[in-house]
Structure 1
């Protein structure tokens, strides 16, 4: 099988940006992957790709781990990613991707324009955000942006943001890998890309961490929200082109 090196280069860029944004590479990796592979292959690749990249983030940013958010966001994320993974075989992914794209655009713009909005860092908001991000990750392959919106509202220090998000993401990916394998999403093609994606996950995370040193804390939240906005617009644009044929 021929390896697409352009796709691998784009995967590296997605990993670097995902590390800087703090919400993982899948929000870019999934839309990019859909240009090269079918939707279900991308789901399988995303799960195995994320396992390596999130191990790297946990190792590099482990000192900033927020254990309370890990519990409140992580547990519902794992429960709902399993449900979303099983539903992915029976639900129309196109309409759900449109909903996801619109959601990301609206909420990122809301937080960018209405900077005075404060989401209280309480258990209820954490659990809801975790459940939504986990379900979206299982169903669409990407839930990090929803989790990013939730965690950005808590205004965490950037190391704590990335470490906590990566640990939650690892729990999500570990769980959905088994579901996707059972669904038949991880086969010979996906496993062929595994060693390449593993190295990209390590290198991209390291480069992203180096770049983060040059980003002031007060700029970090805004950059994360801008990236989420671009992801939403890219998702909607791609689906529009698909609809037009």
Structure 2
């Protein structure tokens, strides 16, 4: 089925990469639901992890000046640990329930921050660890946890470059870990490997275009865009799975 609709798949993948770059939490949150139309869920998990490796290397190259080492450690270490756990048990848990939980969290969290602009989560180690743990677990289970990490990092009021570079560094560790486990689970299929060079090009084009858009918007516009993007992701994910059920 995918080979028949490959041009559409590529265009949608570029769009997912652009939105993921502008949003700052990676393309998988868009790519996973989109790719699910063309591939079975386990194949989507496998190809997403491999695609994200190249995507985050590209983002690090474009946004390397904004890297926050401390936040990357507090968010990244628990994320890498729990993504391995989530990836390992993903074949034993029905992802539908988790998709509903994820969409509900994103809608409620973004609404709170949109309505109450002065609300700020304390930038503490414990909050970073909780955000990293949840994002890693969801990334392993569902192929996408960047929205939770994006929600956490948005509350920390990071500047654009620091937000995206730090998120990409964390994602790189997450993707490397889950790629190993997904391969062990049998999610990475030889028939799908032809997509890797295509998606590498997609990641470069999408990241570049996303960076050009970011250069033209202010910090306030960026934060508000991320919040509405998170809410939109939650609504689309919820509606898609309600109709799918």
TM-score normalised by structure 1 residue count: 0.97
Could you list the per-position Cα deviations for residues 138-172 of structure 1 after superposition, in whole angstroms to 9, with x for gaps in the alignment?
Answer: 00000000000000001001000000000100110
Which of these residues, 123, 126, 144, is aligned with residue 121 of structure 1?
Answer: 123
Which of these residues, 136, 143, 160, is aligned with residue 134 of structure 1?
Answer: 136
The answer for the alignment partner of 1:112 in structure 2 is 114
Name which of structure 1's ranges 3-12 and 41-50 shifts more when overlaid on structure 2.
3-12
**Unmatched runs of 5 consecutive residues or more in structure 1:** none
| Secondary structure in structure 2 of the residue aligned to 1:152 | helix
The answer for the alignment partner of 2:244 in structure 1 is 242
The list of structure 1 runs, each at least 4 consecutive aligned residues, that deviate by more than 2 angstroms after superposition, is none
Q: How far off its partner does 1:77 sit?
A: 0.3
* Cα distance in 2, alignment partners of residues 240 and 108 from structure 1: 21
**Contact 1:76/1:127 (8 A) holds in 2:** yes
Which of these residues, 190, 196, 199, is aligned with residue 197 of structure 1?
Answer: 199
* Cα distance in 2, alignment partners of residues 14 and 190 from structure 1: 19
* Cα distance in 1, alignment partners of residues 24 and 43 from structure 2: 24
* Cα distance in 2, alignment partners of residues 12 and 205 from structure 1: 9
* Cα distance in 2, alignment partners of residues 227 and 40 from structure 1: 26
* Cα distance in 2, alignment partners of residues 194 and 124 from structure 1: 37
Could you list the per-position Cα deviations for residues 92-140 of structure 1 after superposition, in whole angstroms to 9, with x for gaps in the alignment?
Answer: 1111111111111111111111112111111000000000000000000
Could you list the per-position Cα deviations for residues 51-110 of structure 1 after superposition, in whole angstroms to 9, with x for gaps in the alignment?
Answer: 111001101101110000010000000000000000101001111111111111111111
TM-score normalised by structure 2 residue count: 0.97
The answer for the alignment partner of 1:30 in structure 2 is 32
The answer for the alignment partner of 1:180 in structure 2 is 182
The answer for the alignment partner of 1:2 in structure 2 is 3
* Cα distance in 2, alignment partners of residues 162 and 234 from structure 1: 23
* Cα distance in 1, alignment partners of residues 13 and 236 from structure 2: 16
* Cα distance in 1, alignment partners of residues 219 and 85 from structure 2: 36
| Secondary structure in structure 1 of the residue aligned to 2:3 | coil
| Secondary structure in structure 1 of the residue aligned to 2:136 | helix
* Cα distance in 2, alignment partners of residues 237 and 24 from structure 1: 21
For the pair 1:87 / 2:85, whether they are aligned, the reply is no
* Cα distance in 2, alignment partners of residues 153 and 240 from structure 1: 29
Alignment coverage as a number of residue pairs: 243
| Secondary structure in structure 2 of the residue aligned to 1:118 | coil
CA-based RMSD = 0.9
